[in-house]
Structure 1
Amino acid sequence: MKQILKTIIKDFHLKPLPPFKPRHLAVPLDLDKIITIIGPRRAGKTWYLFQLMASLQKLDIKREQILYLNFEDERLDLDTGYDQILDAYLELYPDQKLDELYIFFDEIQEIPDWEKYVRRLYDTISRKIFLTGSNAKMLSKEIASSLRGRSLSFEIMPLSFSEFLSFKRIDSKDTDSTKNRAKIQNSFEEYLTWGGYPELVDMETRYKANILQEYFNVMLYRDLMDRYEIRDASILKYLIKRLIGSFTKEFSINKLYNDLKSRGIRIGKDSIYRLMDRIFSVYMVTYVEKYDPAVVKREMSNKKIYLYDNGIASAIRYAFSEDRGKFLENIIFTGIRSTTEAVFFLKNGYECDFAVFPETDKPILIQVTQTLSQDNLSREINGLEKAGKKIKNSRRLLIAGEVSVPSDSLPKWVEVKTAYEWLLECNGNNPGLTPGKNL
């Protein structure tokens, strides 16, 4: 096994880093913390490690100072112990100072008791450790409990719209020229339908649904059924598809329980809650709580369901032309979620799609509509106005796919933006990814 490790390590050092397209996430290289990068499968975690390594090389860090292993490599069999990793490295580079070694472990959850090994490396060898893991096996709660304050965790999501344009080699800042603006608008239609998974950017459209369905199957079978040893795939599939079918809508577990009962499916409410928690853990679907100053009331109320990426809905079941408004609302949610988790909805005789509470700015109330016209203007304005009375000193924003009302017909207290304009503004100020959470 040691010889295989030496071959893998040396081969990596002799080959140039594979070409990659830079992401906007800013991860510190010298913080003396275990850096963990988590997020959906296929969102680009491995390629981001290569981006970090390229940054180190620009700082004159030699390739030999970088130890990289991908634990999904089928050649690796570490049953005899993990110390052989460093043994193999030191046989190749006996003069290397280990406290100057940068350790990159990809998909480390593939090895048992990885957290004990990483803690020992951090405490005794090097504090320059970078980890990635599949979202199903390396969740924030697990990192917090196993690494015990030694780590700083970052999320990497599918591409933000500005990153999507960058991957397509389109200047996101040039919205003035007719030609480039048309490119941005056309790309927005693609992004709205198929989402931002990096692999799909240059993929022919006819293959996109199949690839996204494969992502779905990996999350279903590997991240959920294998991890949690769930035997009944039919109930799990039913729950997931009900959640996806409810995206941008309120969701009631009581109603779901009664529906299952009426179909003759015997499952307790506690089991449904447990399965839901596991589904929410794998970065496929998530929820937003109804805003209330009382935490208990928020937790007891119905939730609104959203997807981390629009492509999943397109691939699984949705006819896009019939659901454009839902796709638009969901993509605005992904833009919000990329900058903060403090997002809620309001409903109390009126509706406001999002109430956002940034850490360093005043609250933002957001209403989303496919078309802003004279027909729906008063309804959308009314929701924002009443929400503004509940949440004082808030910025109030209308985001629309299309705007067909003159600006002088709008109250001065409301801002109106098209969806793609707002996404570019949002991604520009907060580059499409959460800034990281110290766990």
Structure 2
Amino acid sequence: MIERPLYLDRIRPFIGKPIIKIVTGVRRSGKSTLLQLVRAELHSQGVPEECMLDINLEVYANRHLKNPNLLYEQVKAWADSLGGEQGYLFLDEIQEVESWEQLVPGLQTEFLVDIYLTGSNAHFLSGEFATYLSGRYVEFEVFPFSFSEFVRLRADDGVVESMDEAFDIYRVLGGFPFLSYLGYAPDPCREYLLSIYDTVVLKDMVERESIKDASLLGELLPFLIANVGHTFSGRSIERMLEGENISISIGSVLKYVQVACDANLLYRASRVDVMSKKVFKSQEKYYLVDQGLREAVYGNNDRNIDQVLENIVFLELLRYGWSVTVGDKPMSTSDNGKNLSVKSDSPSREIDFIASKGSRKLYLQVCYLLADESTIEREFKPLEELRSDYPKYVLSLDEVDRSQKGIIHRDIRAFLLDSHNLLR
């Protein structure tokens, strides 16, 4: 069981505090394992085993506990048996319980319990659910392994390989933890990844959101997955499906895209004016929770390497809590007093990512290789013309450092391995 300090360090300050800890993320990303790590830490601090109660609500033997009244009675009996000692309650896949959002705060109020939940669909924290929990919970989103976690896992498994060899596997098959048990053999890994995809689509999208026409969703999702990192609008998707003789309204397109985001399958990056910070209502980009799912569903991760690299960097920024947008249409203006401007005669150029975290900001370009002068100009020029004190990066798979004019060039692999220092 690999340690995941990125997440444990965030949870640790809240352990034992009267606030509900909710761990979210796509299925099989390691949420349950993270709760096991919390349990192990409590145990190392001297918390007795009987003071911790685990209930996985997707286990068949616990199917009766989806009834909130029965779950309440079981928790009550356990809490009463502790005789006033602090208890630690771990509930896996809490969204399986009807009216859980009313039950859980009551458990915290009535009993001396520290509560940890996991859930696989972001929708269960939206709307009226969040109203019941307002001010009572803190959320931690878990992603499949980062490249640095992947490398550490390979080392723990006794695998000796170069950074290039490790990254070649990672960028194709991704970071879902269970793949290590399959030895990263391509065919079994793809079968497993397809099973994750099918489960997410069926349980967290079709069933949970009561989607009546699953066939339309089945046509739309592969298109979105194939086009990660490409801009599109609801209308462009509608036209694409019309070309395949599939009739679907823009409203349905937007609904299904949102459902995919709620299922932690896709992540949206809004397009903003780099200077005025105006958010555009269309031409957004979407990224996939793990590049291995793209390989399993669509293939071509090797052929579409630019898209895959962009997806990997986007997810790494999310892991470290950065908000990420896509930059568009530079215009001369200021950026919070940072004297941020571009030359008035320069053409509009996209900046792949504008990442923000509190008062910090990063500008990043991502590409495969800086193969010639035209590619170098394409990647560096938008950042060069963006006069700002914030760090600016060009990331590629080149091993030769091409940093220039205050713009930092990094090998993507080295950037990912050093992300704990750069992004935390």
Counterpart for residue 398 of structure 2 = 402
Counterpart for residue 16 of structure 1 = none
Which residue, out of 295, 313, 332, partners 1:332? 313
Deviation at 1:66, TM superposition (A): 0.7
The yes-or-no answer on 1:69 pairing with 2:16 is no
Distance in 1 (CA, whole Å) between partners of 2:244 and 2:100 is 43
Which deviations, in whole Å up to 9, do the C-alpha atoms of 1:302-334 show, x marking residues without a partner?
101211111011111122331112211111111
Counterpart for residue 150 of structure 1 = 136
Q: Which runs of 4+ in 1 moved over 6 A?
A: none
Deviation at 1:393, TM superposition (A): 2.0
Question: For structure 1, which segment, 150-159 or 320-329, has the greater mean C-alpha deviation from structure 2 after superposition?
Answer: 320-329
**Equivalent residue letter for 1:379:** R
Deviation at 1:347, TM superposition (A): 2.8
Which deviations, in whole Å up to 9, do the C-alpha atoms of 1:210-249 show, x marking residues without a partner?
1111111001111111011112121101111111121111
**3-state secondary structure, aligned to 2:155:** coil
**Equivalent residue letter for 2:224:** L
Contact 1:136-1:223 within 8 A present in 2 as well: no
The yes-or-no answer on 1:184 pairing with 2:183 is no
Contact 2:269-2:326 within 8 A present in 1 as well: yes
Distance in 2 (CA, whole Å) between partners of 1:102 and 1:128 is 5
The yes-or-no answer on 1:86 pairing with 2:84 is no
The yes-or-no answer on 1:291 pairing with 2:272 is yes
The yes-or-no answer on 1:414 pairing with 2:407 is yes
Which deviations, in whole Å up to 9, do the C-alpha atoms of 1:26-61 show, x marking residues without a partner?
213122210000011000111111110110011111
1:31-50 to 2 correspondences below 5 Å: 31-50=17-36
Which residue, out of 277, 282, 288, partners 1:301? 282
The yes-or-no answer on 1:279 pairing with 2:260 is yes
Which deviations, in whole Å up to 9, do the C-alpha atoms of 1:315-360 show, x marking residues without a partner?
1112233111221111111111212342112233212211112214
Counterpart for residue 160 of structure 1 = 146
Which residue, out of 395, 410, 417, partners 1:424? 417
Counterpart for residue 342 of structure 2 = none
Distance in 2 (CA, whole Å) between partners of 1:317 and 1:217 is 14
Counterpart for residue 356 of structure 1 = 355
Unmatched segments (≥5 aa) in structure 2: 330-347
Contact 1:37-1:156 within 8 A present in 2 as well: yes
Which residue, out of 193, 208, 220, partners 1:212? 193
The yes-or-no answer on 1:55 pairing with 2:41 is yes
Distance in 2 (CA, whole Å) between partners of 1:142 and 1:185 is 47
Contact 1:335-1:427 within 8 A present in 2 as well: no
Counterpart for residue 365 of structure 2 = 367
Counterpart for residue 393 of structure 1 = 389
Deviation at 1:381, TM superposition (A): 1.4
The yes-or-no answer on 1:128 pairing with 2:114 is yes
Contact 2:317-2:423 within 8 A present in 1 as well: no
Distance in 2 (CA, whole Å) between partners of 1:151 and 1:426 is 28
Which deviations, in whole Å up to 9, do the C-alpha atoms of 1:380-410 show, x marking residues without a partner?
1112223x24xx3221111111245x64xx5
Deviation at 1:294, TM superposition (A): 5.9
CA gap 1:94/1:220 in 2 versus in 1, 3 angstroms: closer
**Equivalent residue letter for 1:315:** A
**3-state secondary structure, aligned to 1:85:** helix
CA gap 1:200/1:265 in 2 versus in 1, 3 angstroms: same
Contact 1:200-1:208 within 8 A present in 2 as well: yes
**3-state secondary structure, aligned to 1:214:** helix
Identity %: 26
1:188-203 to 2 correspondences below 5 Å: 188-203=167-182
Which deviations, in whole Å up to 9, do the C-alpha atoms of 1:134-179 show, x marking residues without a partner?
22563455652231211111111111111112212269xxxxxxx9
1:22-33 to 2 correspondences below 5 Å: 22-24=3-5, 25=7, 26=9, 27-28=11-12, 29-33=15-19
CA gap 1:95/1:129 in 2 versus in 1, 3 angstroms: closer
**Equivalent residue letter for 2:370:** L
Distance in 2 (CA, whole Å) between partners of 1:335 and 1:108 is 27
Distance in 1 (CA, whole Å) between partners of 2:187 and 2:302 is 17
**Equivalent residue letter for 2:389:** N
Q: How many residues align?
A: 393
Contact 1:170-1:183 within 8 A present in 2 as well: no
Distance in 2 (CA, whole Å) between partners of 1:360 and 1:63 is 42
Distance in 2 (CA, whole Å) between partners of 1:115 and 1:399 is 43
CA gap 1:144/1:87 in 2 versus in 1, 3 angstroms: closer
**Equivalent residue letter for 1:190:** I
Distance in 2 (CA, whole Å) between partners of 1:235 and 1:94 is 51
**3-state secondary structure, aligned to 1:398:** strand
Task: Tell me how large the CA RMSD over aligned residues is.
Answer: 2.3
Counterpart for residue 209 of structure 2 = 228
**Equivalent residue letter for 1:89:** W
Distance in 2 (CA, whole Å) between partners of 1:252 and 1:220 is 22
Distance in 1 (CA, whole Å) between partners of 2:380 and 2:82 is 69
Distance in 2 (CA, whole Å) between partners of 1:260 and 1:208 is 30
**3-state secondary structure, aligned to 1:300:** coil
TM-score normalised to structure 1 length: 0.83
Counterpart for residue 346 of structure 1 = 327
CA gap 1:110/1:155 in 2 versus in 1, 3 angstroms: same
Which deviations, in whole Å up to 9, do the C-alpha atoms of 1:404-430 show, x marking residues without a partner?
5x64xx523111110111111213455
Contact 1:33-1:127 within 8 A present in 2 as well: no
TM-score normalised to structure 2 length: 0.86
